Structure 1
Amino acid sequence: MSQTNDAGIGTTPAFPAVRAVGAGAPLKWLARGADDLKSCPIPSLFYGFCFAGMGLLITFVFEHAYEYTAALTSGFLLLGPFLAMGLYGISRRRERGEGCALAPTLTVWRRNAGNIGIFAVVLGVIFLVWARASLVVFALFYTNEMPNLSGFLTQILALENLEFLAVYFTVGLIFAAIVFALGVVSIPLMLDRDQDAITAMLASVGALARNPGAMIVWAFAIAALTVVGFLTFHVGLVVLMPILGHATWHAYRDLIEPARAAAG
C-alpha cells in the first residue's frame, strides 16, 4: 500500500537497510544527545521532568508495597522508547533546521499513529506479562517480610535473599532483552519514514544482530544511566532521560541507511 511522503508524493517505504557500526558508536550517540539537550534545553527538560515525575509518583504511591513498585518501575523502563517519542521529535526538528519547539513534539505520534499504536500495544502486552511475572517471582522466592523502598534497597546492597535476586533479575533481563531488540530503532523509524510497525521491529532486530558489540555497549549505557537516575531519587532522570532519548535518535541515524540510499 502506498504512503505519502513530506512532499506529498506517494511512495512505498523500502525495507530499511542496516549499517554496521563500531562498538564505540554509542559514546558518539550520547555526545550528540547531550548536544541536542544543550541546544534545546526547555523542551528537552520538559520531558525529563515528566520522566522524573512519573518515577517519583510510582515510588510514593507504592512505597510500602515494593513488589508492585519493582514491576511498575521496570515497566516504566520497558515503555521508555514510547515515552521518549517527543525527544525524538525534537532531535528530528533540529536536524531538519526547524528550530526548537515543544508544542509540535507533543503530537508527533500523529505522523504514523496507527503503526505507533501497534508498537505501543506490543510493549503494553510485554509490560503486563512482566508485571505478572514479577509478582509471581516475589510470591515464590521472596522469603523475608515485604520491606518498604529503603529496606528493599538495603537488602539488595547487602546481597540478602540471593535466590530471589538471581531469579528476579534473570527474568527481568529476558523481558528487557526482548524489548531492547524490538525497540532499538522502531519508533524513530516509524516517525521518520512512516514505516509499518512490523518492518520497524524487524529492522531493530536486524540492527541488533548486525551490531552485537555496539548494542551491548548501548544497552549497558542505557541501564547504567537509568540506574544513576533512580539512585539520585529520580532527580538525575531530568537530565539523563533527555540525553538518552536524543541519543536514541542519533543511534537510528547511524544504524539505518537513509531512505534514498536504502531504496537505491
Structure 2
Amino acid sequence: MSDPESPPGQGFALPSVRRVSLARPRNWLKSGWHDMRSNPVTSLSYGLLFGIAGAVVLIFSWSKPYLFTAAVSGFILIAPLLAGGLYEISRRQAEGQPATLLESLDGWRRNGQSMAMFGLLLALVALVWERTSAVIFALLVPGMAPDLSSFIFDVLLNPEFAGITLAWFMVGTCLAILVFAVSAVSIPMLIDRDVDFVTAMITSLRATVLNPDVMFLWAVLVVTLTLAGFATLLLGLVLTMPLLGHASWHAYQDLVEK
C-alpha cells in the first residue's frame, strides 16, 4: 500500500512521493513488457538504437581497455536520457493515443530546455568519470594491458593492483549511486510535467531516500539487465533496454503523486 509523503514547509512545493512495497519493481517490469508488446515496432526500434550505442561503447573501449568499465557505466548513466522516446510511448499508451516513432519524439520536445540541461549534467558526470578512470590507471598502473582480456586478467584480477582496483570501484559505485538517486524518475517527470530539472532531481532523490530497499532492488535489476545485454553480444540490449525504459515510466508513475 502506497504512503504519500510531502515535504513540510511553505512556499515552493515539491511533488509528493510515495512509499511502495518491495514487490513493485516486478510490477514495473510487467507493465513495461505490456507496453513493449503493445508497441513492438517502435519499442524495438529504440532497442536497436541502444544496441548501436552499445557497439560504439565496445569499439571505443576495446582499444582503451582500462576505460571499458567507465564506458559501460557511462552508457548506463546516459541511458535514462536516451530512453525519452520510450517514456513518451508509455505515456501515450496509458492515454490511449497512438505512439509511432515520429510521435514518440515529442518526449524530448515537450520540456526541451530542462531535458537539455539534465542531459548536459549527465554527460558532464560521465566525462568526469571517464577522465578520472583514465588518469588513475595511467598514473598508477605501469605497462597498460594491450586489450580488454589482458586488462581484466593482468590488472583487475591481479592481487598486485587490488588496492587501486578496490578504490576505483568504490569511487565509481558512490558516483553511480548518486546519479541513480537523482535520475531514477527525473526524465519521465520532465516529460510528464512542466517542471525544471532541479525539481525533477530533488523529487527523484526524495523518492529514492523514501524507498531505499525498493530502489536498491530496482538499481540491481537495471544494471543486471543492461550487463546481460552487453554479454549477449549486444543483441540483448535490443530487448532489455526498451523493457527497462517502459518499466521506468511505470516506476515514476508509482513513486510520484500526480
Residue aligning to 2:191 = 191
Contact 1:24 1:217 in 2 (8 A): no
CA distance in 2, matches of 1:117, 1:27: 31
Alignment of 1:35-74 (within 5 A): 35-74=34-73
Counterpart Cα distance in 1 of 2:119 and 2:66 = 24
Match of 1:200 in 2: 200
Q: Which residue of 2 aligns with 1:149?
A: 148
In 2, Cα distance between the equivalents of 1:225 and 1:141?
A: 32
Are 1:226 and 2:226 an aligned pair?
yes
Kindly indicate whether the alpha-carbon contact (under 8 Å) linking 1:52 and 1:234 is maintained by their aligned counterparts in 2. Answer: yes
Percent of aligned pairs with the same residue?
41
Name the counterpart of 1:174: 174
How far apart, CA to CA, are the structure 1 residues paired with 2:152 and 2:53? 19
**CA deviations over 1:97-129 (Å, ceiling 9, x no partner):** 003311111242110011111111211221121
TM-score by length of 2: 0.88
SS in 2 for 1:28: helix
Looking at structure 1, the residues matched to 130 and 66 of structure 2 have their Cα atoms a distance apart, in angstroms, of 9
Q: Does 1:83 align with 2:82?
A: yes
How far 1:137 moved relative to its partner? 2.3
Contact preservation (8 Å) 1:49, 1:238: yes
Does residue 108 of structure 1 match 2:107? yes
How far apart are residue 156 of structure 1 and its match? 7.8
Q: Cα 1:253–1:156, aligned 2, differ >3 Å: closer, same or farther?
A: farther
Partner SS, residue 19 of structure 1: strand
Give CA-to-partner distance per residue, 1:187-236, whole Å, 9 cap, x none.
Answer: 11111111111111100000011101101100111111111111112111
- 8 Å CA contact 2:44–2:239 kept in 1: the answer is yes
Distance 1:167 1:143, change over 3 A: farther
| Alignment partners' CA distance in 2, 1:106 and 1:158 | 43
* More deviation, 60-69/106-115: 60-69
Equivalent in the alignment of 2:6: none
Q: 1:39 to 1:153 in 2, by over 3 A?
A: farther
Q: Which runs of 5+ in 1 are unaligned?
A: 1-12, 259-264
Q: Partner of 1:118 in structure 2?
A: 117
Report the AA paired with residue 257 of structure 2: E
Structure 2 counterpart SS, 1:79: helix
Change (3 A) 1:215 1:156: farther
1:73-110: CA deviations, max 9, x gaps? Answer: 22111111101111101111101100331111124211
TM-score by length of 1: 0.86
Alpha carbons of 1:65 and 1:104: their partners in 2 closer, same or farther (altered >3 Å)?
same
Deviates more, 1:135-144 or 1:187-196: 135-144
Amino acid at match of 2:224: A
User: Residue 86 and residue 72 in structure 1: after superposition, are their counterparts in 2 closer, same or farther (change >3 A)?
Assistant: same
Distance 1:159 1:28 in 2: 41
Shift of 1:34: 1.2
Q: Partner of 2:29 in structure 1?
A: 30
- 2:95 aligns with 96
- CA 1:209/1:61 → structure 2, altered by over 3 Å: closer, same or farther? closer
Q: Give the partner amino acid of 2:182.
A: L
Unaligned runs of 5+ in 2: 1-11
**1:150/1:197 Cα in 2 relative to 1: closer, same or farther (>3 Å)?**
same
